[in-house]
């Protein structure tokens, strides 16, 4: 039963591996001279996704969040393992889940080479492995005073969708429909991360909210930052709701956007814009790294905003 299930839903050719699914271990031969970038992310139903996201959405998102970590490191995706606990062997669910999983896997050239399958409350744990040339990984610790702070894409859509779904923010249905896919169809910025090798000084993916994630860069780099709230790129539909404090929180402190936040020297502006083109996503300058520690967000009047919520804490209730 378990082996049928693995054979049907999780076994695909893996030409980039020496040996894929089916033995006690997968065998992988890294490209000579490359460093391996390894990341794991676990997703629990009710906490990281909802049954409303649908199984294909869950398959997509569970791999997307891991690809996003590879992207934030500037790594090229190679292999993944998938450990999954399922309450029941639901064929229709598994078919849709693996369709969502393999669609994004193929789009990013990552191969499923192993995993574990067991009965239990729906939980998905993925380990993704990528490669990066020695010394070129985009670490959190490389930001320097004077760097520009950049983000890719737009921020806030996923958090707005969650706030809408949870009844914390009223949105017109036509607007809600525009942000809801951000919750279960995030796009990992893999090509951008690769294009930023040798250009960005530091990078992180925005999974817990801009302020919290940029805060990790500031901490690791022992610097501070000043951001211009008006410069932060938000989805067009969000503008009509920005007068609501909860909507502003979604932009600055909302999680689950999976955009990249990174820093680079001002001399690299042209190169960063070219990396955005290569990565197929807009890149926007939102502030500056400062010698003075701390994170200040200035409003349109130049005055610092009072920020209450800075990000998603995994141990908050």
Give the dihedral of Cα atoms 205, 64, 191, 106; nearest 10 deg: 170
User: Quick check: 116 binds Mg ion (CB under 5 A)?
Assistant: yes
Pick from Mg ion, ligand ADP, none: which does 117 bind, CB < 5 to 8 A by kind?
Answer: ligand ADP
| Residue closest to 85 by CA, chosen among 121, 43, 61, 45 | 121
Which residue has the closest beta carbon to Mg ion?
A: 116
Residues 6+ away with beta carbon under 8 Å from 230: 299, 300
> Can you tell me which of 23, 267, 301, 316 binds ligand ADP, judged by CB under 6 A?
23
Residues 6+ away with beta carbon under 8 Å from 26: 14, 17, 18, 19, 20, 79, 81, 113, 114
Of 116 and 219, which CB lies nearer to Mg ion in the complex structure? 116
Pick from ligand ADP, Mg ion, none: which does 10 bind, CB < 5 to 8 A by kind?
Answer: ligand ADP
Pick from Mg ion, ligand ADP, none: which does 82 bind, CB < 5 to 8 A by kind?
Answer: ligand ADP
User: Quick check: 304 binds ligand ADP (CB under 6 A)?
Assistant: no
User: Quick check: 90 binds ligand ADP (CB under 6 A)?
Assistant: no
User: Quick check: 2 binds Mg ion (CB under 5 A)?
Assistant: no
Of 2 and 172, which CB lies nearer to ligand ADP in the complex structure? 2
67/28 Cα distance (integer angstroms): 18
Stretch that binds ligand ADP, among 19-27, 155-163, 169-177, 227-235 (CB under 6 A): 19-27
Stretch that binds Mg ion, among 13-21, 112-120, 213-221, 309-317 (CB under 5 A): 112-120
What's the closest the beta carbon of residue 5 comes to ligand ADP, in angstroms? Answer: 8
Pick from ligand ADP, Mg ion, none: which does 188 bind, CB < 5 to 8 A by kind?
Answer: none
The 99-118 site mask, x for binding ligand ADP (CB under 6 A), equals: -------------x-xxxx-
Of 76 and 117, which CB lies nearer to ligand ADP in the complex structure? 117
Q: Identify any residues that bridge with 82 across adjacent strands, giving them in sequence order.
A: 115, 126
80/305 Cα distance (integer angstroms): 42
What's the closest the beta carbon of residue 28 comes to Mg ion, in angstroms? Answer: 18
The count of chain residues that interact with ligand ADP, using the rule CB under 6 A, is 13
Of 23 and 317, which CB lies nearer to ligand ADP in the complex structure? 23
Stretch that binds Mg ion, among 108-116, 166-174, 194-202, 292-300 (CB under 5 A): 108-116
Name the site residues for ligand ADP (rule: CB under 6 A): 6, 10, 21-24, 82, 84, 112, 114-117
Contacts with Mg ion by CB under 5 A lie at: 116
């Amino acid at each position: 039963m378990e082996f049928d299930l693995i054979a049907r839903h999780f076994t695909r050719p893996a030409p980039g591996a020496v040996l894929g699914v089916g033995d006690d271990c997968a065998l992988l031969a890294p490209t000579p001279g490359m460093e391996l970038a390894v990341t794991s992310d676990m997703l629990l139903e009710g906490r990281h996704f909802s049954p409303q996201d649908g199984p294909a959405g869950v398959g997509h998102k569970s791999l997307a969040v891991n690809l996003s970590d590879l992207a934030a490191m500037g790594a090229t995706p190679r292999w993944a393992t998938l450990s999954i606990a399922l309450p029941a062997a639901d064929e229709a669910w598994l078919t849709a889940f693996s369709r969502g999983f393999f669609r994004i896997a193929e789009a990013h050239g990552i191969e499923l080479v192993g995993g574990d399958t067991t009965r239990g409350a729906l939980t998905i744990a993925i380990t993704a492995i990528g490669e990066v040339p020695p010394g070129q990984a985009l670490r959190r610790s490389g930001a320097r005073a004077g760097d520009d702070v950049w983000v890719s894409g737009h921020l806030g859509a996923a958090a707005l969708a969650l706030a809408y779904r949870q009844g914390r923010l009223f949105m017109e249905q036509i607007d809600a429909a525009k942000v809801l896919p951000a919750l279960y169809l995030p796009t990992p910025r893999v090509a951008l991360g690769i294009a930023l090798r040798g250009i960005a000084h530091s990078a992180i993916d925005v999974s817990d909210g801009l302020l919290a994630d940029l805060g990790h860069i500031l901490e690791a780099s022992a610097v501070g930052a000043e951001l211009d709230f008006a410069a932060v790129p938000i989805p067009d539909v969000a503008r009509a709701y920005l007068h609501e404090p909860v909507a502003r929180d979604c932009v600055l402190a909302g999680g689950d956007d999976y955009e990249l936040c990174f820093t680079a020297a001002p001399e690299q502006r042209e190169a960063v814009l070219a990396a955005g083109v290569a990565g197929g996503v807009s890149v926007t300058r939102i502030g500056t790294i400062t010698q003075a520690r701390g994170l200040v967000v200035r409003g349109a009047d130049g005055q610092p905003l009072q920020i209450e919520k800075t990000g998603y804490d995994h141990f908050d209730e």
